[in-house]
Structure 1
Amino acid sequence: MTGPRVVVLAGGVGGAKFTLGMREALRRRGAPEATVVVNTGDDIWLSGVRLQPDIDSITYALAGVNDTERGWGRAGDTERVNAELQAWGAGWPWFTLGDLDLGTHLARTGWLREGLTPTGVLERMARRWDLGARLLPMTDAEVDTIVLLEDGRRLHFQEWWTRHRASLAPVAFENPGIADAAPAPGVVDAIAAADVVLVAPSNPVVSIGPSLAVPGMRAALAAASAVVGVSPIIGGRVVRGMADVCLQAIGVETSAAAVAAHYGARAAGGVLDAWLLAEEDADAAADVAAAGIRPVVAPLWMRDVAASAAIADAALDAAR
């Protein structure tokens, strides 16, 4: 195959939609499959099983079995086992586990208990469907995200995000154990071999942030051929979720230019060479350029796979 070798840093629903578009764009170019490095910072143990929400969202999306209405889980899923868990007072009553989804979690947990690493588990999961991309976890270490609240409480990210809908004011996000973590096997090599690394329009704080915080990741990106990011902010608003609350907690304005500056220019020790901004944010291009990052204005609404593929094409072109 000809065409660019691509690595995508991704997480969440935005990452899943972008990865679908990237797969389509690369297929049209006759390019190799992308390697997608997926956030594992929002993973959690619940009812004795290991959940990896971002990995599952991207896997299900590429497999074509995701629930596009809810944005998470499997299409057509049922919740009989979840109801039984609640009857036993197990798990969290506000955290729904679908029956098909639980099948994934049980299989994963069993493989982990047998000694497979998260990388090995994901390789085994990928055998079931023709995903059209190689998925890697950001790390094999457990580095769940903990939210530190203004009142001093510490909540797992999933409780803060799902139960409280980010309504409790956070002051910091932590990933205990991340200082001793390392990129999962294959991640650094994939970045070194890539023609371009793309930062998906995922939550900059809790989806992309943990990946960048894994020791060795920023060094790998510093040596990459090119790094292009796609703004998750359109017209001064987050596209989905509560990323604005996360950004506010770390002192970053909810704007395309501010998020670009948060990532920083590679020339100044940051991450980015170029940054895709939405047409609605074209006026901010000068601010992005002032931060040492090349701005590229393009339509960024991922309404369907075709639109996402057009965004991926624009990101690939920006790497040139």
Structure 2
Amino acid sequence: MSTASAFKGKPVVALCGGVGGAKLALGLNRLIGADLTIIVNTGDDFEHLGLHVSPDIDTVVYTLGGLSDVERGWGRADETWNFMASLGDLGGETWFRLGDRDLAMHVERTQALRGGTTLTEFTTAMARRLGIAATLLPMSDDRVETMVMTADGPLPFQRYFVGLQCAPVVQRLEFKGAERAVATQQVLSALRHPDLAAVIICPSNPYLSVDPILAVADIRKALDAVKAPIVAVSPLIGGQAVKGPTAKIMAELGLPADSVTIARHYPFLSGLIIDETDREEADKIEMPVHVASTWMRSFEDRDRLAAECLKFAAQLSIVRKGESAA
């Protein structure tokens, strides 16, 4: 029996950011489909050109819906940029690029939200329309804004990430509004499901993509109470991220860029998956470690790593049951 077959009918939850997380989310969706719930970071959301933009949600939606630009890892395939060119001709803001095809999602979302639809309702409706088997959920319907504190002052996330290309030195991160944000009933129901088989933290940036999710108190409390194995995939390979500023941020925060630090960052973990390159770090990590190839270059790589996550979670579950019986 395959690992995916063993999980059939057993709910699994994934916590996910954008590009790197979406790759693993795609593999999980292909393996276990309707049994998967993906809770997506919305700390990156912002209003731009009068539109509500949800970058991580859209990356996951486009990736699982088969619409994404595989080379870039974000946005839609076969994109054109006529709108941005025309906007630039008029002297408008072009630092954050919205493609012609991508605009449709932002326009629809903005109209829906202004009409009283929640972000959760809109996201799940789009996922269904695009034939995505998994359930996609924003971490909250309340606004949480990731703020990057730098030596030059606070920066909204997209100004730091896109506008300044992550160049400013990070002193700390704040999640504005997280203290008031509440998890939706859908998110809490997924994490509190009595038959929950596993929680998987995708290889997204722990500080920019996963921490905003954990900053919502209801979600963190629910994770602390989860009885099923919680497994994370380290976003680092040989001390570097495949994509994004994870290692840079860790250095600026005074943290070693290694899997030991990643393991310590998530105190509720049951186990950590690290890349084969970092095999020698396994003995330094004070929890079960599974070594696998974590670089997802192809669709087969995404499926393979998803299967490794489920296999590791199943092994941890068996160990837990044995310890309980003893």
Q: 1:316 to 1:171 in 2, by over 3 A?
A: same
Question: AA paired with 1:14?
Answer: G
The one-character-per-residue Cα deviations of 1:141-187 (angstroms, maximum 9, x if unpaired) are: 11121111113x22111111112211111111111111000112311
Question: AA paired with 1:279?
Answer: E
- Work out which of the residue numbers 269, 273, 296 in structure 1 matches 2:270: 273
Q: Displacement, 1:258?
A: 1.1
The residue aligned with 1:316 is 310
CA contact (8 A) 1:218 1:271 kept: no
Confirm or deny that 1:65 pairs with 2:67.
Answer: yes
Q: Displacement, 1:128?
A: 1.9
Structure 2 counterpart SS, 1:26: helix
Q: Identity across aligned pairs (percent)?
A: 38
- Rounded to whole Å, the distance in 2 between the matches of 1:3 and 1:127 is 19
Q: Counterparts in 2 of 1:61-100, with a 5 A limit? A: 61-90=63-92, 92-100=93-101
Confirm or deny that 1:12 pairs with 2:21.
Answer: no
The residue aligned with 2:158 is 158
Structure 1 counterpart SS, 2:14: strand
- Rounded to whole Å, the distance in 2 between the matches of 1:81 and 1:47 is 12
Question: AA paired with 2:66?
Answer: G
- Rounded to whole Å, the distance in 1 between the matches of 2:202 and 2:114 is 32
Return 109-118 or 298-307, whichever deviates more. 298-307
Quote the RMSD (CA, aligned, Å).
1.4
Question: AA paired with 2:38?
Answer: V
Unaligned runs of 5+ in 1: 264-269
Q: Counterparts in 2 of 1:183-194, with a 5 A limit? A: 183-193=183-193, 194=196
The residue aligned with 1:177 is 177
The residue aligned with 1:266 is none
Confirm or deny that 1:301 pairs with 2:295.
Answer: yes
The residue aligned with 2:107 is 106
The residue aligned with 1:139 is 140
Confirm or deny that 1:233 pairs with 2:239.
Answer: no
Structure 2 counterpart SS, 1:216: helix
The one-character-per-residue Cα deviations of 1:11-70 (angstroms, maximum 9, x if unpaired) are: 11011100111122226xxxx430000000111100000000000000000111101112
Structure 2 counterpart SS, 1:197: strand
Question: AA paired with 1:20?
Answer: L
The one-character-per-residue Cα deviations of 1:257-312 (angstroms, maximum 9, x if unpaired) are: 2111111xxxxxx22001001111111111112xxx21111111111121111111
CA contact (8 A) 1:34 1:133 kept: yes
- Work out which of the residue numbers 45, 49, 52 in structure 2 matches 1:50: 52
- Work out which of the residue numbers 39, 43, 46 in structure 1 matches 2:41: 39
TM-score (norm 2): 0.90
Unaligned runs of 5+ in 2: 1-6, 315-326
Structure 1 counterpart SS, 2:249: helix
Aligned residues between the structures: 305
- Rounded to whole Å, the distance in 2 between the matches of 1:174 and 1:249 is 15
CA contact (8 A) 1:252 1:259 kept: no
Confirm or deny that 1:219 pairs with 2:221.
Answer: yes
